[in-house]
Amino acid sequence: MNVHQPSSDSGPLSLSESLHAALVEAVGSAHVLTDPAVTGEFTQEWTRRFSGPCRAVVRPGSTDEVAAVVRACMAAGVPVLPQGGNTGLVGGSVPAVSPGRHGAPVIVSARRLSAISSVDQLSGQLTAGAGATLGDVHRAAEAAGWIYGVDLAARDSCTIGGTVATNAGGINVIAYGMTRASVVGIEAVLPDGQVISHLSGLLKDNTGYDLGALFCGSEGTLGIITAVRVRLHRPHAATSVALVGCTGFASALELMSRARAGGFPVIGAEVIDASGMELVMGLADLPYPLESRWELVVLLEIADGGDGSGLPLDESADAVVAFDASSRARLWSYRERQSEAYSTLGVVHKLDISVPLESLAACADELRTLIESYPIVTTYGVFGHLADGNIHLEIVGPAWDDLEIDHAMLACAARYGGSISAEHGVGRVKARELGMCRSSVEIAAMKAIKDAWDPQGLMHPGVLFAE
């Protein structure tokens, strides 16, 4: 059986001649990729932790082409894996290591759907093809005098469709909310190949279920998003950025609370531990920015006109402050390059939990104690979005498929009333743990929606719900 060449059999990894022909008819032969040298970048996750076989990668260039591809796969009984920029971190953007009962998927890459409309100056909205990168959406908004509120370090690789599918968070949630808060309409291809298109951008539209909101966090299980209408914001006048040394999460939260009480909008409140600071300094050849070494460094960005008056810093603070754009970006790089820095150490178990703010310090302490109880761990670190009660745990040492520590960390977050996924999603790697933070009634309600829309179970099986 051949994984990569069209064949006439219908094995779990093969692309039958009839499906190959239907895909070529839908998108043209140049956009049906079967050569492993080419499909490799679509089948391996950014973390290099997960990869699995696909039958083909298909690159449609329009919504109609996406619909034709979906209909062809469904008729052939072949699973579909929607993919954006493949920057996901939970095993959900690439095929399973071992194909499930339906066999390997056809990956439908949205990257060619990259057109971005002009900004509607009256409503402050734009429409982007699902494959437009987040960075391109930012640049389009900024060129028209606006900003887009969702931002994250993978901005020049991840797509707007992927950020909707994962309901991405990022570095400005404190100011603008998760992706869901920015979405005012979507267009998508449902698992039966029909298209829903609701891109008018009406702010007031109480005509039943908000299907666009349902796609936020759907992780590709309900269909393929082809376009997104988003709301924009007017930019703040200049901002001030500070890195401040803190003794732990309790003092970091106290600092953030003082910043929020200061009367200026806080648009970023992030945290980096000592291990992460050292790694990024090595990776980016940056100096240690503060006078003393601290257990935690907090990054605050305040929209105070760029004069520092909104920063809650007294004379005893060990802090460095930046006002101009390039100095602000330099301070942000200590935080933004964390994920990349840990990835230089090999395969990293990346966990992404959130807990109520009042439990954050206690939960963070318990997580550290737990990690240190595993001799197999060679390096670990903590960084994240302080204001959102969201910490990212980076753990190096356990084999890629050793899930014992992952499970223990997620269970700890759940004990504190937290979520096993603050922003990266459930993917494949946490599908079995969904019940830690969602009730059986909630899971059954979600599954009922999934089953109603995708009765064959072919739209991204194994993600969100364990197969």
Ligand X SMILES: Cc1cc2nc3c(=O)[nH]c(=O)nc-3n(C[C@H](O)[C@H](O)[C@H](O)COP(=O)(O)OP(=O)(O)OC[C@H]3O[C@@H](n4cnc5c(N)ncnc54)[C@H](O)[C@@H]3O)c2cc1C
Binding site for ligand X (CB under 6 A): 46, 82-89, 92-93, 110, 130, 152-154, 158-159, 161-163, 165-166, 168-170, 219-220, 224-225, 339-340, 423-424, 460, 463
Instruction: In angstroms, give the least distance from the CB of 189 to ligand X.
Output: 9
Beta strands in 190-279 (DSSP E): 195-198, 224-231, 240-246, 266-273
- Tell me if 202 sits within 8 A of 209, measured CB to CB: no
Instruction: In angstroms, give the least distance from the CB of 93 to ligand X.
Output: 3
Instruction: In angstroms, give the least distance from the CB of 82 to ligand X.
Output: 4
Instruction: In angstroms, give the least distance from the CB of 317 to ligand X.
Output: 26
Instruction: In angstroms, give the least distance from the CB of 130 to ligand X.
Output: 4
Q: Which is nearer to ligand X, 16 or 167 (CB)?
A: 167
Q: Which is nearer to ligand X, 304 or 394 (CB)?
A: 394
- Tell me if 111 sits within 8 A of 131, measured CB to CB: yes
Q: Which is nearer to ligand X, 224 or 367 (CB)?
A: 224
Instruction: In angstroms, give the least distance from the CB of 401 to ligand X.
Output: 19
Q: Which residues on neighbouring strands pair with residue 83, listed in sequence order?
A: 109
Q: Which is nearer to ligand X, 6 or 105 (CB)?
A: 105
Q: 17-27 and 63-76 are packed helices; what angle lies between their axes, rounded to 10 degrees?
A: 170
Residue nearest to ligand X (CB): 162
Alpha-helical segments (H) within 28-177: 36-43, 63-76, 134-143, 160-165, 173-176
Instruction: In angstroms, give the least distance from the CB of 408 to ligand X.
Output: 23
Q: Which is nearer to ligand X, 46 or 146 (CB)?
A: 46
Q: Cβ contacts of residue 115 below 8 Å, gap of 6+?
A: 128, 129, 132
Neighbours of 466 (CB within 10 A): 15
- Tell me if 245 sits within 8 A of 292, measured CB to CB: yes
> 443: buried, middle or exposed (CB in 10 Å: 19+, 13-18, 0-12)?
middle
Which helix (DSSP H) or strand (DSSP E) does residue 56 occupy? strand 56-58
Instruction: In angstroms, give the least distance from the CB of 324 to ligand X.
Output: 24
Instruction: In angstroms, give the least distance from the CB of 423 to ligand X.
Output: 3
Residue (of 238, 211, 210, 239) closest to 225 by Cα position? 211
Instruction: In angstroms, give the least distance from the CB of 50 to ligand X.
Output: 11
Q: Interior CA angle at 159 toward 238 and 463, to 5°?
A: 125
Q: Which is nearer to ligand X, 126 or 319 (CB)?
A: 126
Q: How far apart are CA 191 and CA 420, in angstroms?
A: 27
Neighbours of 24 (CB within 10 A): 17
Question: Any idea what DSSP says for residue 235?
Answer: P
Alpha-helical segments (H) within 192-294: 211-215, 249-260, 274-284
Q: Which is nearer to ligand X, 86 or 240 (CB)?
A: 86
Q: Which residues on neighbouring strands pair with residue 329, listed in sequence order?
A: none
Instruction: In angstroms, give the least distance from the CB of 91 to ligand X.
Output: 9
Q: Which is nearer to ligand X, 72 or 80 (CB)?
A: 80
Instruction: In angstroms, give the least distance from the CB of 454 to ligand X.
Output: 12
Q: Which is nearer to ligand X, 112 or 368 (CB)?
A: 112
- Tell me if 17 sits within 8 A of 6, measured CB to CB: yes
Q: Which is nearer to ligand X, 184 or 188 (CB)?
A: 188
Q: How far apart are CA 45 and CA 152, in angstroms?
A: 18
Q: Which is nearer to ligand X, 16 or 51 (CB)?
A: 51
> 316: buried, middle or exposed (CB in 10 Å: 19+, 13-18, 0-12)?
exposed
Q: Which is nearer to ligand X, 16 or 83 (CB)?
A: 83
- Tell me if 201 sits within 8 A of 185, measured CB to CB: yes
